[in-house]
C-alpha cells in the first residue's frame, strides 16, 4: 500500500543551549570558546535527519496549542518535518537542555524534562497508517497503547531507549521489533558486557533486528533469518561535536528501513550518516544529505561489515 509518509515519530523535542569549552570535560574547569542555541531531542532530530536525507517524516507527539508561540514545532516544520498530524495541548512544551561540549567533541547533557510526553492515546489509526515505520524513544512509556496499536497495524517500530523506568520500559522494548540501542544502556539493562551475548539476550521471536551502537567502536547487529552476528566498524573521522549523532543514526536507519532495506544495509547507511554528522557543531548542523552518505559509503576506505566471532 502506498503511503504518503515514510517515518512517523514521537518522543523528545528539545531546545538546547550549547556551551563549547577549551578543555576536556574531565578537566574540572575550562574557558568557554563559543555559545549557541539549537533545537534538538532524540526523535525530533532523527526526523529532521530523515528530511535532510530526502525522506518524508512527520512528528506526531504533543505540541503546544498555540502555533504562533510553538518555537520547537515551527523549527521542525522549517527543517522539512510535517507537524500537521501532531496533537496539541496547552501544557505541551519542549525539554530544555544545557549541553557542554569539549574540544574532542565529547559532551555532557543536563536537561529538564518536566513536560508533557508521548502523544495522545486518541491518535487515530489512519494517522499511524500514513507511514510504514514508527520511531520512538524512552518517553514512549507515556503512550504504550499507541505503540501497541502501531504494531498491530503492521508498522515497524524502532525503539531508541537510553534509560529504564522499570516494567513500562520492559513493555516498550517488547513492543519494538527493531531495537536500536546504545551499547552502554544495553549493558546496564541486561547485566552483560559482551555485545554478542547482549544481542542474544535481547532477541525474541518477534524481533526483526537488535542493533547496538558504540560510537567510534562501531555497531553490532543481529537480524532475523541470518545466522551471522555482525559488527560494522565506524568511519575514522575527527569529531567536532557528537551531539545528535545517535539521533542521526536512528533517522537514517528508519528511512532505509522504510525504503525496504535489510537491517544490515540500514546500519551501513546509518553509520555513514552519523559519521558525517559529528563533523559539524550542533545537533542538526551536520546532518547530511543522501548524496553525501552514498559517496562516503562508496569510498575505498569505507568500513565493511565483519562477522562477530562465534563464542
If one compares 241 and 31, the residue with the highest pLDDT of the two is: 31
The CATH class of 7-11+42-94+116-307 is: alpha beta
- Average pLDDT for 88-116: 90
* 141 band by pLDDT with thresholds 50, 70 and 90: very high
- Average pLDDT for 199-222: 96
* Of the listed ranges 39-43, 184-188, 248-252, the one predicted with least confidence: 39-43
Q: What backbone phi and psi angles, to 5 degrees, belong to 85?
A: -95, -5
Residue with cell 568500513: 303
Q: For the chain, what are the domain ranges?
A: 7-11+42-94+116-307
pLDDT at 311: 46
pLDDT at 310: 57
Q: With pLDDT > 70 as the criterion, what percentage of the chain qualifies? A: 99
- Rounded to two decimals, what is the model's pTM? 0.92
- Average pLDDT for 291-303: 96
Mean pLDDT for the chain?
A: 94
Q: For residues 267 and 264, what is the distance between their CA atoms, to the nearest angstrom?
A: 5
Q: How far is CA 176 from CA 1, 262, 287, in A?
A: 22, 16, 25
* 168 band by pLDDT with thresholds 50, 70 and 90: very high
- Cell of residue 11, nine digits: 518522543
Q: How far is CA 233 from CA 103, 126, 254, 264, 267, in A?
A: 23, 39, 20, 12, 11
pLDDT at 1: 63
Amino acid at each position: 500500500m502506498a503511503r504518503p509518509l515514510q517515518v512517523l515519530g514521537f518522543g523528545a523535542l528539545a531546545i538546547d543551549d550549547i556551551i563549547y569549552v577549551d578543555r576536556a570535560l574531565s578537566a574540572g574547569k575550562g574557558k568557554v570558546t563559543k555559545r549557541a542555541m539549537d533545537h534538538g531531542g532524540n526523535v525530533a532530530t532523527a526526523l529532521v535527519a530523515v528530511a535532510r536525507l530526502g525522506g518524508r517524516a512527520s512528528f506526531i507527539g504533543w505540541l503546544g496549542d498555540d502555533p504562533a508561540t510553538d518555537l520547537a514545532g515551527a523549527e521542525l516544520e522549517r527543517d522539512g518535518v510535517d507537524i500537521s498530524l501532531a496533537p496539541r495541548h496547552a501544557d505541551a512544551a519542549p525539554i530544555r537542555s544545557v549541553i557542554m561540549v569539549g574540544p574532542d567533541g565529547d559532551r555532557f547533557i543536563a536537561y529538564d524534562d518536566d513536560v508533557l510526553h508521548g502523544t495522545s492515546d486518541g491518535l487515530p489509526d489512519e494517522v499511524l497508517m500514513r507511514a510504514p515505520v514508527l520511531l520512538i524513544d524512552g518517553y514512549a512509556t507515556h503512550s504504550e497503547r499507541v505503540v501497541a496499536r502501531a504494531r498491530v497495524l503492521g508498522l515497524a517500530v524502532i525503539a531508541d531507549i537510553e534509560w529504564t523506568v522499570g516494567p513500562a520500559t520492559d513493555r516498550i522494548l517488547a513492543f519494538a521489533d527493531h531495537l536500536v540501542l546504545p551499547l552502554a544502556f544495553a549493558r546496564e539493562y541486561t547485566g552483560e558486557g559482551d555485545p554478542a551475548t547482549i544481542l542474544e539476550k535481547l532477541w525474541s521471536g518477534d524481533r526483526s533486528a537488535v542493533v547496538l551502537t558504540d560510537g567510534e567502536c562501531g555497531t553490532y547487529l543481529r537480524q532475523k533469518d541470518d545466522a551471522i552476528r555482525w559488527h560494522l566498524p565506524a568511519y575514522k573521522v575527527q569529531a567536532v561535536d557528537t551531539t545528535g549523532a545517535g539521533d542521526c543514526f536512528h533517522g537514517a536507519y528508519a528511512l532505509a528501513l522504510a525504503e525496504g532495506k535489510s537491517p544490515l544495509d540500514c546500519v551501513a547507511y546509518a553509520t555513514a550518516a552519523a559519521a558525517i554528522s559529528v563533523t559539524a557543531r550542533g545537533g542538526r548542523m551536520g546532518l547530511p544529505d543522501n548524496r553525501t552518505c552514498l559517496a562516503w559509503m562508496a569510498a575505498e576506505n569505507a568500513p565493511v561489515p565483519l562477522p562477530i566471532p562465534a563464542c
